[in-house]
Amino acid sequence: MDFNFFEPYLNAPKKSNFKTIIIVLLFIAAIALMAYYQYLLLDQSKTLQNEIAEIDAYIQSDAVVQQRETVLEKQNYEKALASTYASMKAVETQIESANAVETQLIEKINAEIPENVFLSNIQILKGAVSFTGFASDYKALSQFVYNVRGLEEVDTLSIPTVNELEENLSFSVNGILSEEGQDESQ
């Protein structure tokens, strides 16, 4: 008997190429899927670029630019009005506080007017106060000046004029207000 050492290799069954074909087909399918995905991404990118270009064209159109300018003008006008309003409110507050200080001072002065003295005018302006009026006699006038001098808001008083009329006296009194009697905004 002859031994052929190559016999097992001669009639060897052929390997199946089925697995190799499947692997190659899967590899080709994966590459095709990746290529298709890249194509979709590029298509979406182009679509988005076109939409962005359309939006930019709309934003830069004359109608939109004109509307935007109108809105900006109105915003600036609104800011100017708000600033003016704030300034007016500040002035109003100063006026109200000045009126409040003056009103309180006038009320205190009215409380100090004796029975036979009548004031025709009270003027408070920039740290000074002046009164004009009528008194029945010198005693009533001196009592009025004494009472007003006693107020903490009044620093000094003077009587520049006293005129004797038929039945009473006409007078004017000037004074300087102390710091408590002055409004800080003046």
3-state class (DSSP) for residue 13? coil
Per-residue pLDDT tens digits for 25-42: 999 999 999 999 999 999
Q: What is the pLDDT of residue 184?
A: 47
pLDDT of residue 107: 87
Question: What pLDDT, on a 0 to 100 scale, did the predictor assign at position 165?
Answer: 85
Residue 46's pLDDT is what? 96
Residue 69 Ramachandran class (φ > 0 left, ψ -120 to 50 alpha, else beta): alpha
Q: Which residues of the chain have pLDDT under 50?
A: 183-186
Chain centroid to Cα 32, Å, comes to 61
Amino acid identity for residue 175 in this structure: G
**C-alpha to C-alpha distance for 137 and 32, rounded to whole angstroms:** 120
pLDDT at 104: 84
What is the predicted pLDDT for the residue at 44? 96
The string of DSSP letters for 59-108 reads HTSHHHHHHHHHHHHHHHHHHHHHHHHHHHHHHHHHHHHHHHHHHHHHHH
d(CA 146, CA 24): 120
- Spell out where the chain has E strands: 117-125, 128-135, 154-164, 169-177
Distance of CA 62 to the CA centre of its chain: 33
